[in-house]
Amino acid sequence: MSISNIKMLSMNPHFYSLLMQSFLSGYGKPCEIKLPFMAIPILLYAESREKLVNANSKSRIDTLFQSPQIIEENKISGKTRLAGYIDRYNSLKPYCKKAIIILSSEGKIAISEHKIILVEKIDYKDFEGTVKNWIRCAFYLGAVFSKTTEDHLSFFLGVDIK
């Protein structure tokens, strides 16, 4: 498989649109447009997704990503699970824009006054295998984001995303 084919598979805005739809299903209310853009880099990073596998409806961003990680008896800051976030955010932004366009053109979301309104919810239980795990992580990241403010998320992630 060529590098361009691998890139096309890993940078697939159709898959990102599915993750965003699940994120919005977990978020459960209209949200600012930038929040799904903030979620995708977290979901695509194996270290952070590893924590989301165990997330549930009571999880919070600080409980998921603040606790230290123990590797070979050494404690490493929990925020290392979000290392390189800004670079991932910037490189994924064009694909996230395409994902929003896909969701909108398929009638799964509506955009009104800088907010995304989910029209068609999805349930991760309707999926199987690895895709189900990705969709589940996106759903619970949405639930986690819904419990905090944009300012707290920006502070926690160490970014001021406009």
pLDDT at 105: 97
Phi, psi of 33 (to 5 degrees): -55, -35
pLDDT tens readout for residues 70-122: 444 444 344 444 667 888 888 899 999 999 999 999 999 999 998 999 999 99
pLDDT at 89: 87
Average pLDDT over residues 39-64: 88
Chain position carrying tokens 């309104």: 117
Total-model pTM = 0.84
Average pLDDT of the chain is 83
Q: Of 61 and 100, which is predicted with more confidence? A: 100
Nearest to 106 by CA among 120, 116, 96: 120
Neighbour count for residue 114 (Cβ, 10 Å): 10
Q: Of 65 and 111, which is predicted with more confidence? A: 111
